Structure 1
Amino acid sequence: MADYDALLLLSFGGPEGPDDVMPFLENVVRGRGVPRERLLEVAEHYQGFGGVSPINQQNRELLEALRPVLDVPVYWGNRNWHPFGEDTVRRMKDDGVRKAAVLATSAFAGYSSCRQYYEDIKRISIEGGPELIKMRHFGDHPGFVAAMADHTRAALERLGRDDARLVFTAHSIPVSMAETAGPSGGLYEAQIRRSAELVNKALGRDEPWDLVWQSRSGPPQVPWLEPDVCDFLRGTDAPAVVLVPIGFVSDHMEVVYDLDTEARDVAAERGLPMERAATVGTHPSFVRMVRELMAEPEPVPCPLTCCPAPRRHR
């Protein structure tokens, strides 16, 4: 068992008002050469929700759910918005924290979903500050699976259709990034498929299910994982669907816009009955999973050659 004296919840961050949106997006794409027109387009998604991403409030709720089950202090820092990780680590140093487990709000392998969090940890670490240990991928952990299964079961009950097809969704990434995820490549998609299989099994279902992708943001000439969720909904012959956002741990903007807005509009146009399962959020099984991960032996860091940064296309 690793000797942690704190937990750091390390997340993506999100704006909490209209004036935050563009500065936040500029932080997200810094150094990537993303056209301002694209930022303005994405900004409209946030402004449609009052300029507030749900992710920060959901992280606060997760912190409150974790505190009663952990016997160490719990901290929170973000990559792209307040509270920034570097500010949080300085506070941890002042509080005398020596060694902290780091829970990244992403369950799977890949550059954006894992390697970039290692880069964050290196960037925010300071001399005399706590040693920061990123916890392992957890998409196959029984606590994650049980939480997703419960939320999927609830969505099936809301839909009230025995013939509904489960359609698991995750963030699309460039094919080149998917091919280099993990020591031997392909681990991002393989882990997500494994999680979907486990959730389907936990529900006691024998019916086929699908894996689709969402939230593509790259230039059109670069291949990304397909099919897109909206394209799938336009072409499916399923009589009803439940979207299961297996690739996300909270109902943040890419869930509430891409699934609850765009995908729901496509389903409505087709007259296709659709429900969306909740993400793990603060489900008790997920909260207990964090405690169990902290009790495991300290994980071995991924090799530096694993999940390399993608080549930027301009």
Structure 2
Amino acid sequence: MFDALLLLSFGGPEGPEQVMPFLENVTRGRGIPRERLASVAEHYLHFGGVSPINGINRDLITSIEAELARRGADIPVYFGNRNWHPFVEDTVAHMRDNGIRRAAVFSTSAWGGYSGCTQYQEDIARARAAAGPEAPELTKLRQYFDHPLLVEMFADAIRDAAATLPEELRADARLVFTAHSIPLRAANRCGPDLYERQVGYTSRLVAAAAGYADFDQVWQSRSGPPQVPWLEPDVGDHLDALAAAGTTAVIVCPVGFVADHIEVIWDLDSELAEQAEAAGIALTRATTPGSSPRFARLAVDLMDELVQQAPAARVDGSDPVPGFGCSVNGAVCTPNCSS
């Protein structure tokens, strides 16, 4: 059914000279002031101007190739980005020149909504249009926010993180899930609170799998003018509230992210960690799937579901949330999601 797999991601700079051009690509047409871009650029420059995301994705491709080989699937894996090299347009043109006719597309976002799903569909359409009439057919694999392997990876990461806390603090440590905030005006774009509901649902599944009956759901990495409302509470504000309530230890799980990229290692490992230290809170962070063999298995499983026309693998929960679009027919989410 498929003669290639394309890993489609966001992209990130790999040198100081690339940081501002990358940020200009990300924010093009949004009217973000230059001084705001310069402020964000400092986050990247703190790490030498290199985002970890491309390196993580290359390692993930190596893991996917190993998983495909284990299953006897002899197909190549390609890598394309929305915002930086290798741009998806260039990758799809390369696939065309290599004679690829039909490829599955695995995106590094588990979610529905515009930025988590539909925008990747737009990336695919733009790349195919640029490649011309001989462009390969590209089918985006479904959302995987409730896939058993994703839930399992985050649950294991929470247990591993908890084990790093002083033993006397573990029992009372507060579990806090965080995901990227979005403007409230975008929250209903692809269905009523779709993204927020999916994140909350996954957090419940992961907490239960990790053995936690109670947890908090917060948001991070908001941007834009302060007068524009975004999903709240912010993780930093929530940490202040926990400190005021006497919390002594926090386990933060970045459930909204599949890799430890800048918005994880800066916002959580740097800014939030400093805030926790100043407040006297022991903070530990769960890792993300990254390039692990289980994440590679998840990607190949999604492709096999389509090839075999098999039922979607999902964790059973008491309050399931729809995973709109990106099904066998590659439909674009819900009506008006791309408008």
Identity level (%)? 55
Structure-1 separation of matches of 2:24 and 2:103 = 29
Q: Give the conservation status (yes or no) of the 8 Å contact 2:52–2:261.
A: yes
Alignment of 1:222-233 (within 5 A): 222-233=228-239
- What residue is the counterpart of 1:38 in the other structure? 36
Deviation at 1:210, TM superposition (A): 0.6
Deviation at 1:181, TM superposition (A): 3.1
Structure-1 separation of matches of 2:26 and 2:87 = 13
Structure-2 separation of matches of 1:306 and 1:14 = 29
- What residue is the counterpart of 2:216 in the other structure? 210
Structure-1 separation of matches of 2:40 and 2:22 = 11
Deviation at 1:306, TM superposition (A): 4.6
**1:131 is the counterpart of 2:140:** no
Structure-1 separation of matches of 2:103 and 2:90 = 15
Q: Give the conservation status (yes or no) of the 8 Å contact 1:7–1:100.
A: yes
Deviations 1:88-132 (A, max 9, x none): 001111111111111111110111111111110110013211111
**1:278 is the counterpart of 2:287:** yes
Q: Give the conservation status (yes or no) of the 8 Å contact 2:252–2:285.
A: yes
**1:307 is the counterpart of 2:337:** yes
Q: TM-score, normalised on structure 2? A: 0.87
Q: Give the conservation status (yes or no) of the 8 Å contact 1:107–1:137.
A: yes
Deviation at 1:304, TM superposition (A): 5.9
Deviations 1:36-55 (A, max 9, x none): 01111111111111000010
**Matching residue's letter, 1:16:** E
- What residue is the counterpart of 1:296 in the other structure? 305
- What residue is the counterpart of 2:204 in the other structure? 197
Q: Give the conservation status (yes or no) of the 8 Å contact 1:12–1:80.
A: yes
Q: Give the conservation status (yes or no) of the 8 Å contact 1:21–1:43.
A: yes
Deviation at 1:180, TM superposition (A): 2.3
**1:263 is the counterpart of 2:284:** no
Structure-2 separation of matches of 1:272 and 1:120 = 42
Structure-2 separation of matches of 1:48 and 1:287 = 30
Deviation at 1:170, TM superposition (A): 0.2
Q: Give the conservation status (yes or no) of the 8 Å contact 1:115–1:306.
A: no
Structure-2 separation of matches of 1:22 and 1:180 = 29
**Matching residue's letter, 2:210:** L
- What residue is the counterpart of 2:83 in the other structure? 80
Structure-2 separation of matches of 1:287 and 1:156 = 25
What secondary structure sits across from 2:23 in the alignment?
Answer: helix
What secondary structure sits across from 1:179 in the alignment?
Answer: coil
Structure-2 separation of matches of 1:175 and 1:10 = 26
Which of 5, 8, 21 is the equivalent residue of 1:7?
5
Structure-2 separation of matches of 1:180 and 1:85 = 25
Deviation at 1:284, TM superposition (A): 2.6
Deviation at 1:150, TM superposition (A): 1.3
Which of 122, 125, 136 is the equivalent residue of 1:119?
122
What secondary structure sits across from 1:213 in the alignment?
Answer: strand
Deviation at 1:299, TM superposition (A): 2.5
- What residue is the counterpart of 1:96 in the other structure? 99
Q: TM-score, normalised on structure 1? A: 0.94
Structure-2 separation of matches of 1:307 and 1:272 = 41
Deviation at 1:158, TM superposition (A): 1.0
Structure-1 separation of matches of 2:46 and 2:337 = 34
Bigger shift: residues 276-285 or 245-254: 276-285
Deviation at 1:290, TM superposition (A): 1.0
- What residue is the counterpart of 1:234 in the other structure? 240
- What residue is the counterpart of 1:312 in the other structure? none
Deviation at 1:60, TM superposition (A): 0.7
What secondary structure sits across from 1:278 in the alignment?
Answer: coil
What secondary structure sits across from 1:290 in the alignment?
Answer: helix
Structure-2 separation of matches of 1:73 and 1:116 = 24
Q: Give the conservation status (yes or no) of the 8 Å contact 1:147–1:283.
A: no
Structure-1 separation of matches of 2:161 and 2:102 = 40
Deviations 1:185-243 (A, max 9, x none): 2110111111111111111222x101100000121111100000000001113331111
| Paired positions, count | 304
Listed as ranges, the gaps of 5+ residues in structure 2 are: 307-326
What RMSD in Å do the two structures reach over aligned CA positions?
1.3
Q: Give the conservation status (yes or no) of the 8 Å contact 1:242–1:276.
A: yes
Which of 163, 166, 172 is the equivalent residue of 2:172?
163
**Matching residue's letter, 1:58:** I
